[in-house]
């Protein structure tokens, strides 16, 4: 029986830092490039046949890999291609660059994805994370996904309603039992955005909340807002050498939210305006960035030896300043997590997937 390393497009001991936006992580014992959905399925079946651990890679934007790397086979999903059918449904392969898809839909006169502009990574990762920005989440548009079910050894089409999509999570997150091969999204055929829900974006567009705006205008505004925060990838800008937002915005029910707000105001001031947003199902979402800043961590706050730091543009991004290792990043993440917990009794949860490392 062939080992995964002996299949086509396979290599040994490949440094994984080149495949993450943080540019961090040790080597994979075996590494396979899958150029199509079928070759991805074939590679996974080969891995499973010999009992190897599996790590799926694509854009690498929501991933922290330990310095020890990965003692198994990493499969790089490099499948590309997307199209919009006559009904305004977008079909996209898992390995396709996400922002290229968003740009093409807007240029073709379709709305729906414009608020998700500039998010790094691949199409296949979007339902796993239920990516979202500026008041829109993928779950607002996702119809279904094609995935390879490793337990059944079969490709299945699964409707969005069965994916347990929630705030930055899904039934696919934290498990490698199923692998997304392609997705389908229902776009807006009138070329307009959905109702603008996020105050910062409404101000940038000079419109009222709830207004619908040409998708191209919203995309331009979102990209500008993300660039200001260092959230659009730029190899020359170390503020973008990150995994995006490192911590999720915490969610609380009404009782929990009241207690947290009381603690925050007792420390920061009784009249302080604490940013709050609807979190769905009667919950309140607080801004992790705001809590981090009020706990004393300013933009640019350094980690060990200055090799890592909070972004100089946005306190939710932990950045590699060029010569860091993963443990440097984790030390900084622990300092921030523990500092916010000490000040406000709120334990921030990491958003990226952690491989062979932990907080």
Domain tally, the chain: 3
Q: What is the CATH number of the domain that holds 203?
A: 3.30.465.10
Q: Are residues 18 and 148 in the same domain?
A: no
- Tell me, yes or no, whether 336 lies in a domain: yes
Identify the CA nearest to 286 among candidates 347, 230, 353. 347
- pTM equals 0.88
Q: What is the CATH number of the domain that holds 44?
A: 3.30.43.10
Residue 316 has pLDDT above 60, yes or no: yes
- Tell me, yes or no, whether 122 lies in a domain: yes
Q: Are residues 248 and 212 in the same domain?
A: no
Q: What pLDDT, in 10s, does the model give residues 233-287?
A: 999 999 999 999 999 999 999 999 999 999 999 999 998 999 998 888 889 999 9
Q: What pLDDT, in 10s, does the model give residues 95-126?
A: 999 999 999 999 999 999 999 999 999 999 99
Residue 143: its pLDDT value, please?
Answer: 98
Residue 279: its pLDDT value, please?
Answer: 87
Catalytic pick among 150, 245, 299, 337? 245
- Tell me, yes or no, whether 44 lies in a domain: yes
Residue 10 has pLDDT above 80, yes or no: no
Q: Are residues 30 and 58 in the same domain?
A: yes
Residue 340 has pLDDT above 60, yes or no: yes
User: Token pair for residue 262?
Assistant: 């009381």
Please give the residue range of the domain that contains residue 69.
8-77
Strand, coil or helix: 125: helix
Q: Are residues 340 and 267 in the same domain?
A: yes
Packed helices 326-344 and 254-268: angle between N→C axes, nearest 10 degrees: 90
Q: What pLDDT, in 10s, does the model give residues 168-221?
A: 999 999 888 999 999 999 999 999 999 999 999 999 999 999 999 999 999 999
Residue 4: its pLDDT value, please?
Answer: 42
Give the residue from 228, 253, 277 where a domain finishes: 228
Our answer to whether residue 245 is catalytic in this structure is yes
- Tell me, yes or no, whether 233 lies in a domain: no
Q: Are residues 215 and 292 in the same domain?
A: no
How high does pLDDT run on average in the chain? 94
Token pair 């079910």 is found at 149
Q: What is the CATH number of the domain that holds 314?
A: 3.90.78.10
Q: Are residues 165 and 242 in the same domain?
A: no
Q: Are residues 21 and 57 in the same domain?
A: yes
Distance between CA atoms of residues 191 and 214, nearest Å: 6
Residue 9: its pLDDT value, please?
Answer: 63
Give the residue from 178, 200, 228 where a domain finishes: 228
- Tell me, yes or no, whether 2 lies in a domain: no
Q: Are residues 195 and 92 in the same domain?
A: yes
User: Token pair for residue 345?
Assistant: 């009794």
Q: Are residues 202 and 314 in the same domain?
A: no
Q: Are residues 269 and 342 in the same domain?
A: yes
Catalytic pick among 61, 114, 150, 168? 168
Packed helices 215-228 and 98-107: angle between N→C axes, nearest 10 degrees: 150
Catalytic pick among 52, 114, 137, 351? 351
Q: Are residues 124 and 190 in the same domain?
A: yes
Q: Are residues 209 and 254 in the same domain?
A: no
């Amino acid at each position: 029986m062939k080992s995964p390393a002996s299949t086509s497009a396979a290599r040994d001991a490949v440094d994984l830092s080149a495949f993450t936006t943080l540019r961090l992580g040790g080597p994979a014992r075996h590494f396979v490039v899958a150029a199509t959905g079928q070759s991805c399925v074939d590679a996974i079946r080969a891995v499973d046949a010999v009992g190897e651990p599996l790590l799926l890679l694509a854009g690498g934007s929501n991933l922290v890999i330990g310095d020890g790397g990965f003692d198994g086979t990493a499969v790089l999903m490099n499948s590309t291609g997307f199209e919009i059918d006559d009904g305004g449904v977008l079909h996209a392969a898992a390995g396709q660059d996400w922002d290229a898809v968003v740009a093409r839909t807007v240029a073709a006169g379709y709305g729906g994805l414009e608020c998700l502009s500039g998010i790094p990574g691949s199409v296949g990762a979007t339902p796993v994370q239920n990516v979202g920005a500026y008041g829109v989440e993928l779950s607002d548009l996702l119809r279904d996904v094609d995935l390879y079910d490793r337990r059944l050894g079969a490709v299945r089409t699964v409707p969005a309603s069965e994916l347990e999509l929630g705030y930055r999570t899904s039934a696919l997150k934290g498990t490698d039992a199923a692998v997304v091969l392609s997705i389908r999204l229902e776009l807006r055929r009138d070329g307009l955005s959905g109702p603008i829900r996020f105050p910062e974006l409404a101000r940038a567009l000079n419109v009222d909340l709830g207004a619908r705006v040409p998708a191209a205008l919203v995309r331009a505004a979102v990209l500008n807002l993300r660039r200001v925060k260092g959230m659009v990838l730029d190899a020359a800008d170390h503020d973008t050498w990150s995994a995006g937002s490192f911590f999720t915005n915490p969610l609380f029910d009404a009782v929990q939210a009241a207690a947290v707000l009381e603690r925050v105001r007792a420390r920061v001031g009784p009249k302080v305006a604490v940013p709050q947003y609807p979190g769905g199902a009667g919950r309140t979402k607080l801004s992790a960035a705001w809590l981090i800043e009020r706990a004393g961590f300013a933009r640019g706050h350094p980690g060990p030896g200055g090799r890592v730091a909070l972004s100089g543009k946005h306190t939710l991004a932990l950045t590699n300043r060029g010569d860091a290792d993963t443990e440097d990043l984790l030390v900084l993440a622990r300092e921030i997590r523990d500092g916010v917990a000490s000040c406000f009794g709120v334990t921030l949860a990491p958003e990226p997937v952690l491989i062979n490392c932990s907080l």
